[in-house]
Structure formats: structure tokens, C-alpha cells
């Protein structure tokens, strides 16, 4: 049995002070995201863990790609029959986690998921590669499938069906904007004395910034 308690490393890439932070967490996130992309430590720097809770109080997580970001919040797209969409239908509270391990940083977003308009979803869907559009039609996301072969047969069927012209937006495809009320920025520190700052949205839409214990 592997000794897990011996797997450790020090975090030495630098600290984070209050003076280094932008007053706006979205601007601060954009800065860190650009640095994560520039570092080229991962093929998917926009990958985020999306955590939801179902009607029985059971949390679940999955990795989804961040597709849009503005002052309103963080946007992702999904099949609205998926597990995460079903969870959000009964409890729209959500958390996002960006684990940028190689640069010793994490960002955690706490907020509420608001469905996007059909127009916004269609604009994104039509921008996807054709194969990705077909995959959306072929997959009944989160539901059981008998085999990989069965999935590929459905994919080929969709490919034949939509061989000519544009592929229409499926009525089961949607998206969400995660409107944040708290965002934490975490920078690894020596001796496990990490730097953590929490942005908390105020009633007047300004942001209060607090340092947290590691």
C-alpha cells in the first residue's frame, strides 16, 4: 500500500498580499487566468470543477470548461437533461473551483446559476466545431448507455441526418451564468501558510476583501 502521508511538497512560487489584488474580483480572475494560460502548464486552463447539490442534499462534482466571462459572471454550457442541470433545477446554488496546481493557485467561486437565453445558447452552439454539435445531439448526457459502440452508432446517425446545412440547436441544450457572491483567491505559501483572500459582494454591489487563515 502506498504511503500517502509521505507525498508532499513545499509551495515556494511566491506570496499574495492585499496590495496585489484588484478591487474587482472578475478583473483579478482575468489576470490570473491569463497567467495560467501563459504558463502553459495544462491543456485545459479553463477547466473548472462544478459542484452542485441535488434534492436529497447529495453533492456531486464534474469538470466543465469555462466558456465566457464578464462582469455578470462565469458561463458554461450543458445538456439540460444532465445531472448538473437537474440539480440546478431544484437548487441553483453552485460552486466552481479552478485548480491551477502548477502555479500554486486556486480560485473558488460561490454563487447562483442563472439559465441563459435561447439566443445566447444558440450563438455559442453554432460557434462549436461541427463534430461537437453532433456529439451534443448524440449524447443523452448522464443517462446509461449500453456500450461505446451504441453511442458511436447514434453519433453516425446524427451525422447522416444533418449532413447538409447547419446543425440546429437541440431543444435540450442550454447554458448557465454563475453569478458570484463570494470568490476566494488562494496562493500557496511556505510551511502550509498559504495566502487566502475572499471577495464578498455587498448590498451596493461593491466587494469587500478579507484575508482568511490558511
Of the listed 18, 143, 192, 211, which one is catalytic? 192
Distance, CA of 159 to CA of 103 (rounded, Å): 41
8 Å CB contact between 175 and 76: yes
8 Å CB contact between 139 and 151: yes
Active site residue 192: yes
Strand partners, 53: 59
Task: Collapse the DSSP code of 41 into the 3-class scheme (helix H, G, I; strand E, B; otherwise coil) and give the result.
Answer: coil
DSSP class per residue in 136-188 = HHH--TTS--S-HHHHHHHHHHHHHHT-SSPPPPPTTEEEEEEEEEEEEEEE-
Task: Write out the three cell numbers for 126.
Answer: 453554432
Positions annotated as catalytic residues are 192
Amino acid at each position: 500500500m502506498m504511503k500517502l502521508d509521505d507525498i508532499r511538497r513545499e509551495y515556494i512560487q511566491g506570496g499574495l498580499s492585499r496590495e496585489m489584488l484588484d478591487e474587482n474580483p472578475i478583473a483579478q480572475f482575468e489576470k490570473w487566468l491569463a497567467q495560467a494560460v501563459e504558463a502553459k502548464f495544462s491543456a485545459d486552463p479553463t477547466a473548472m470543477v462544478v459542484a452542485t447539490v441535488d434534492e436529497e442534499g447529495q453533492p456531486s462534482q464534474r469538470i466543465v470548461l469555462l466558456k465566457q466571462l464578464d462582469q455578470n459572471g462565469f458561463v458554461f454550457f450543458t445538456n439540460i437533461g444532465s445531472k448538473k442541470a437537474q440539480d440546478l433545477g431544484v437548487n441553483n446554488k453552485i460552486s466552481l473551483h479552478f485548480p491551477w496546481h502548477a502555479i500554486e493557485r486556486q480560485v473558488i467561486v460561490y454563487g447562483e446559476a442563472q439559465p441563459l437565453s435561447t439566443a445566447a445558447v444558440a450563438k455559442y452552439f453554432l460557434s462549436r466545431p461541427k463534430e461537437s454539435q453532433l456529439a451534443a445531439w448524440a449524447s443523452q448526457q448522464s443517462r446509461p448507455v449500453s456500450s461505446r459502440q451504441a453511442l458511436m452508432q447514434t453519433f453516425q446517425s446524427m451525422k447522416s441526418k444533418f449532413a447538409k446545412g447547419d446543425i440546429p440547436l437541440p431543444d435540450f441544450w442550454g447554458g448557465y451564468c454563475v453569478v458570484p457572491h463570494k470568490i476566494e483567491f488562494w496562493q500557496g505559501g511556505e510551511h502550509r501558510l498559504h495566502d487566502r483572500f475572499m471577495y464578498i459582494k455587498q448590498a451596493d454591489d461593491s466587494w469587500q476583501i478579507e484575508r482568511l487563515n490558511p
